[in-house]
Amino acid sequence: MTGMTFTVAEEPDQITQERGRKLFAGQSEFVKGVVAMSGLPPADRMEVCFAGRSNVGKSSLINALTGTKGLARASNTPGRTQEINYFTQGPDHYLVDLPGYGYANAPLAVVEKWQRLLKQYLSGRQTLRRAFVLIDARHGVKPVDDEIMSLLDSAAVTFQCVMTKIDKVKIKDKDAVLKQVQAALAKHPAAYPEIVLTSSEKGEGIPTLRSIITTLE
């Protein structure tokens, strides 16, 4: 146990929010899909990565952040994104979409290959400032989420929990799922002590997440 208290991230002040808006008003472009470490683009700018179980709403969140519909393609087949996808955000940032995990239908050899690449990326990318681990607010933290968090612990990469689809959770159920997530995060030393609640559909939490990314130098 880390003994850390996990709070919900508050809406940033206007100045920070404006910085976030400006960063994400810049152009977002798909750079490439990477299947091996040798294919990574030059480490010439800071980057943040997004990890999440298949169908957690990762593509929708990246599209909402960038305000670019269809930038990260949402797949109807969970786990179809088998590459590390790189996007530029303005001149100084990369947004990195990691392969969805928890893919029941993928052959074991494929899963092992993805996991190897993921480990190499997480422990070997000097410009990686933070990982955002997406948790579906309707389901809370599942064992497969714990696995990726442990991977981030061992790679000593600070990660922050982003709860998706918060608009789909009834108000009376919100506290219980939040407590479950807080308890799960408390077991991980690499977890950042603030949780971001988001809804890509309603835009909730998007300015907060933009601002957080802006403050990572």
> What local confidence, expressed as pLDDT, does residue 105 receive?
65
Question: Maximum Cα–Cα distance for the chain, whole Å?
Answer: 48
- Nearest Cα to 190, choosing from 122, 100, 127, 139? 122
Residue count of the chain, please give it.
Answer: 217
Q: How far apart are CA 37 and CA 47, in angstroms?
A: 15
Within 8 A by CB and 6+ apart from 176, the residues are: none
What is the CB neighbour count within 10 angstroms for residue 202? 13
Which helix (DSSP H) or strand (DSSP E) does residue 17 occupy? helix 14-25
18-61 pLDDT, tens digit each: 999 999 999 999 999 998 999 999 999 999 999 998 889 999 99
Strand order in the sheet with 194-197: 7-8, 194-197, 159-164, 128-136, 46-52, 93-97, 84-89, 28-34
> What local confidence, expressed as pLDDT, does residue 160 receive?
98
> What local confidence, expressed as pLDDT, does residue 1 receive?
46
Each residue's pLDDT expressed in tens, for the chain with a length of 217 residues? 456 899 999 999 999 999 999 999 999 999 999 989 999 999 999 999 999 988 899 999 999 999 998 888 765 554 445 789 999 999 999 999 998 776 556 677 877 888 888 889 998 899 999 999 999 999 999 998 998 899 999 999 999 999 999 999 999 999 999 999 999 999 999 999 999 999 999 999 999 999 999 999 7
Q: How far apart are CA 14 and CA 139, in angstroms?
A: 32
Q: In the structure encoding, which two tokens stand for residue 110, read together? A: 């494929």
